[in-house]
Each structure stands twice: as structure tokens, then as C-alpha cells.
Structure 1
Amino acid sequence: MLKWAVELGQFDLEYVPRTAIKEQVLADYLLEFDSEVDDKALVTLYPPHVEESLEEFPHPWWILHVDGAVNNRGAGAGIVLVSPEGHHLMSIIHFKLYATNNDAEYEVLINGLKIALEMGVRNLIARSDSELVVNQVNGGFQARGPRIKLYFRYTQRLIGMFKEVRLECVPLEKNSNADALANMGSQQEAVLSGSITPEIQEIPSIPEIEIM
């Protein structure tokens, strides 16, 4: 250290600590939106990585990737919302409720649609690897059972709040980010690089069904 001090002493140098750039970028980004968002479990990932070009669409479109996971550790959901500029907003949900695989897929889609609405999104492309849920919502499959019908109707009501929504079924490999978050969400203590704290959901999005 003494040697470096002697060598550099002839120069007029001043040490300036590096400022926190990441936090300022996130603050500036959130200020662009009018609606307030509860970002308890919502995290922006930088730098952005754009999976597909949105230049073919004449209006700003957002992309929503959702996936639900039910395993022996529990149930969870992963949400990745991509802005037209390519910024990724990620969310993890841990379900403290009984949920089948189809329940988890509907729950994550409902939560993803709610987040998009809170962000002021008008045009949305929603992508899920659940063929059953996508086809039921799009009208290809019939929603059977009282519980699934409630999920179906609630999802349709949320979709009606957007200007336009396109729900697409994609292979798991094209939904890998949401899938990884969903698997982490199945563990309540899951943390992604110390930056995402899973949101805890204790009750279903739909009213409980009384069983006689």
C-alpha cells in the first residue's frame, strides 16, 4: 500500500465510491406508471432480455409467462411479466391452501392478470404450458366441475378488463423462467438471489364450495 501511495502521489486523484445505479433505474422505471403497485413480491430484472420482437404489433403489448407447480414440498406459482421495452418483472407465490395442478395453473394465471391490470397493461399476450387451462379459457375445452367453472368465469371476467388478451399454450422449455420460479414458490422459504420474497396466499381466489 505504501508503494502505491508513493507511485500515485504525484497525480491529483480523488476516490469516489460507486453509486447504486440499479436502485435508481428501478425507481425511474416505476415512476413511468400511473397506478400504484404492491411490489412486495414483484422484482425487476436487469439487464432486460427480450425473447421475441414485438415490432410486429402496432400497439404496446406486454407478455405474461405463468406457471404453477404442485409437488411433495407444496404448491407455488411463478410469474414473469415482460414490458414492451423488454424489462422483466418477476413474482413468486407460495400457496398455503389445498390446490390441484389445475387449481395452481388457474391461480397463477389469475394472479398474473391482476398484476398486469395493476401495471396499467391494456394489450397482453399470456403464455402458459397448461394445455387444459389455455384451451378451457379459449373455448376449445369445456370447463367441467363446479370448482373449475368458478375459476373459468373469474378468469374470463379479468380478461374482459383488458383491451385485448391473447392466451397461448407454449412448451415448457419456452416457459422455463416461470417454471423455475414456480418450483421455488412451492417452498415457502425460497429466495432468488436474496431479492425475491415469495408472497403467501392462504385462500383461493374463488369462493369456497360447500360440499354436502
Structure 2
Amino acid sequence: MKGILQKIDLAGRILQWAVELSEFDLKYEARTSIKFKYLADFVAEYSDTPGTPIDWNLYVDGSSNKAGSGAGVILESNQGTQLELSLRLGFFALNNQAEYEALLASLKLAREVGAQKLTIFSDSQVVMSQIEGSYQEKDPTIKKYLDKTKEQLGKFMGYEIRHICREQNV
């Protein structure tokens, strides 16, 4: 009985707000996601100078905690174009998995905008060292992430990996 009364009270409050806001002619529109392709077309149209290769800096940070996993990415060109992307992973991921997810998403974005040369910055020493080959991967899941990352990096003309401290990766 208590649950029913709470639902009726909530419905009453919603109806009261609906009546008060109806004078403003407000409409709710669901937010749609921006597809990488449209973003790539925009960047290609406004930042590409024919004959001049564009170098891109890629800042990647993935994280995981009890509330969930996510990633932040900044992709910036030597011509001043800057793209920011934040991701919420729809599954539980360990920190290194979140770092790889962030890196893979950012490599996809970089390919979409036509990047040929990348400098990748990350505060994950483990992930950066695994890609460079100075650390070995022991976990089979991480091995799959590493293989996929190397495959994606092979699609670029060149790349450089730089480890930065956590304070610089804001």
C-alpha cells in the first residue's frame, strides 16, 4: 500500500510540473550521438591543406572503478584542430582494459579524420610498454587487446608512443 501511495504522490508532482511548464512550449528531444564519419568529414573539410601532411597528437586515458569504466580522448592536429571524446564502457573493465579500449577508440577516430602520423600520449606505463615490446603481456584478454592495437597502429604511416605522468594527462 505504501508503494502505491508513493507512486501516486510522484505522479501528482510530475503532473504539477507539467502544468507549470506547459506555458513555455517546451519539447523534449532525445540527444543523438555524433557518428565518427560525420566528425571525420568535418575535420577533413576544414583542416586539410593539400600537400601538407597533418601530424596528430593523441592523448588517451582510460579508468575503471566500482561505478564503471570509461575513457577520455583528445585528438589534436598540428593545425589547431582539437577533438575531444569521452566514452562510458558498457561493461566492467579492469584499468588496463579501459586504457586499451580508450586507445582503440581513439585510433578509430584518428583513422576517420585521415591522420597518417600520430604521437600517442598516455599515463599507462604498462600499456605503452606492452605496445613498445619492453613489457610482456601474460593475460590472454590483454594479449587480444595488444594484438588488435598493433593491428590498428599498422594502418598509420608512422606513430610514436610517449609515456607521460598522470599529472600531465589531464
TM-score of the pair, normalised by structure 2: 0.70
Name the SS for the 1:120 alignment partner.
coil
Q: What corresponds to 1:124 in structure 2?
A: 118
Deviations 1:115-170 (A, max 9, x none): 00011000000111000000000011011121011001000000000000111110
CA separation in 2, counterparts of 1:171 and 1:136?
17
CA separation in 1, counterparts of 2:146 and 2:90?
21
CA separation in 2, counterparts of 1:85 and 1:65?
16
Rate the CA distance shift 1:97–1:71 in 2: closer, same or farther, 3 A. Answer: same
**Structure 1 gap segments, 5+ residues each:** 1-26, 35-57, 177-212
Name the SS for the 2:46 alignment partner.
coil
- Cα contact 2:62–2:72 (8 A) shared by 1: yes
- Cα contact 2:47–2:79 (8 A) shared by 1: no
TM-score of the pair, normalised by structure 1: 0.56
CA separation in 2, counterparts of 1:28 and 1:117?
14
Q: Which amino acid aligns with 1:63?
A: N
| 1:74 Cα offset (Å) | 1.1
Q: Which amino acid aligns with 2:71?
A: A
Name the SS for the 1:32 alignment partner.
helix
Please give the root-mean-square deviation of Cα atoms over the aligned residues, in Å. Answer: 2.0
Equivalence map 1:179-198=2 (5 Å): none
- Residue 31 (1) aligns with residue 25 (2): no
- Residue 99 (1) aligns with residue 103 (2): no
- Residue 88 (1) aligns with residue 82 (2): yes
Q: What corresponds to 1:70 in structure 2?
A: 64
**What is the number of residues matched between the two proteins?**
127
CA separation in 1, counterparts of 2:108 and 2:79?
20
| Greater than 6 Å deviation, 4+ residue runs | none
- Cα contact 1:33–1:120 (8 A) shared by 2: no
Q: 1:144 aligns with which of 138, 141, 153?
A: 138
Rate the CA distance shift 1:146–1:79 in 2: closer, same or farther, 3 A. Answer: same
Rate the CA distance shift 1:95–1:79 in 2: closer, same or farther, 3 A. Answer: same
Rate the CA distance shift 1:86–1:32 in 2: closer, same or farther, 3 A. Answer: closer
CA separation in 2, counterparts of 1:100 and 1:28?
34
| 1:59 Cα offset (Å) | 5.0
- Residue 153 (1) aligns with residue 147 (2): yes
**Structure 2 gap segments, 5+ residues each:** 1-40
| 1:60 Cα offset (Å) | 3.0
